[in-house]
Structure 1
Amino acid sequence: MTEVDHQLVFRPATAADVPALVALVESAYRGESSRTGWTSEADLLDGPRTDDAAVAEAVGHPDGVVLVAERDGELLACCQLQRHAGHAYFGMFSVRPGLQGGGLGRTVLAEAERLAAEEWGVSVLEMKVIEQRADLIAWYERRGYRRTGVYTPFPYGDERVGIPRRADLRFETLTKELAG
């Protein structure tokens, strides 16, 4: 466990965390509760953002970790890191909607970058963001991420990742060089 930001504690998620992680991710991105924060995808997608099976797979991945941020045992935020040759993938980044905009996300992102660089020895962090999320992309750019112009199609027809409300969704890859 790593303690940062006074009472904020980071730890790897376990299988016991899966239901709470699914609830956190859903609350941050989908439905009316997500509109409390600014990371909502509710205008772009309906349906689920993830499910128990996908989160359990991420938690148990041999080359990855789901990092949990807690205060006094209460789940506040999470992210997924997965190690690849030469880089790490960052995803499933979720902050409780009522706590968004207060710096918690920046702290979690910084811890993920530190872990990837210092503990895994990777020099690049990579993520995919829905291109239409200009506010989110701008947030990442302010933290040193750059748009690559590399796009991945949205998985239309796979309702496990949501039901699109528009036909032009796609992901753009963002990257950041990490100091090691």
Structure 2
Amino acid sequence: MKDNIIRLVEFNDIQNIVDVINIAYRTNQGWTHEFNVVAGDRISPKQLKIELQKENFKLFVLEVEGQILGCIGLTEDADSIEIGSFAILPTHQNAGYGKQLLNFAEFFAKQKQHIVRLNMSVLNIRKELVAYYERHGYHDTHQTASYPLDANVGQPLINLHLLLLSKQI
């Protein structure tokens, strides 16, 4: 890989991160999109600013040669870290950047003595994404949650729910 930097998001990155997330999830590009199952933006600048104000939330960006190619959000709870806001620009998917960010999240979590697992939620119909995470040590907990309609993260076009995946560290 080229000169990659993983760093905390900065205020002047906000619009760029919003664009990365919305392109990765809401355009018909790459293999991680939800284009045909969820309408509307995944995140807005206002929503991201609100998230960044939360004390237990950290957003890291993956920068290569000065360009932000991806991001991963880590929300720390009592004994776990929830992964969210995880996106790689479609033009840079399948190049190992997602794996690099997942490895970073695991390394970050291991630095916290009280953290015992990483969790994430994935749309139930995204079988290839679940398989990707399973290859990286995550397992289906068989716990589900309703699609978060009240979170303003898009409107489902079909019946959806979330699967909770988890990885012990």
Question: Deviation digits for residues 63-103 of structure 1, max 9, x if unmatched?
Answer: 12101110122101101001100001100100010111111
| Separation in 2, partners of 1:15, 1:6 | 25
Deviation at 1:6, TM superposition (A): 5.0
- Among 4, 7, 18, the alignment partner of 1:11 is 7
Deviation at 1:57, TM superposition (A): 2.1
* % identical equivalent positions: 29
* TM-score of the two chains, using structure 1 as the length reference: 0.89
The residue that corresponds to 1:161 in the other structure is 153
The residue that corresponds to 1:175 in the other structure is 166
Q: Please provide the CA RMSD for this pair.
A: 1.5
Matched, 1:74 2:71: no
Matched, 1:27 2:23: yes
Q: Secondary structure at the match of 1:132?
A: coil
* TM-score of the two chains, using structure 2 as the length reference: 0.94
Query: 2:2–2:64: 8 Å Cα contact kept in structure 1?
Result: no
The residue that corresponds to 1:116 in the other structure is 109
| Separation in 1, partners of 2:57, 2:39 | 28
Structure 2, unaligned runs of 5 or more: none
The residue that corresponds to 2:42 in the other structure is 49
The residue that corresponds to 2:119 in the other structure is 126
| Separation in 2, partners of 1:84, 1:19 | 27
Deviation at 1:163, TM superposition (A): 1.6
1:16 maps to amino acid:
N
Cα distance, 1:118–1:81 mapped onto 2, change above 3 Å: same
Query: 1:51–1:160: 8 Å Cα contact kept in structure 2?
Result: no
Query: 1:79–1:91: 8 Å Cα contact kept in structure 2?
Result: yes
| Separation in 2, partners of 1:159, 1:47 | 12
Q: Secondary structure at the match of 2:120?
A: strand
The residue that corresponds to 2:136 in the other structure is 143
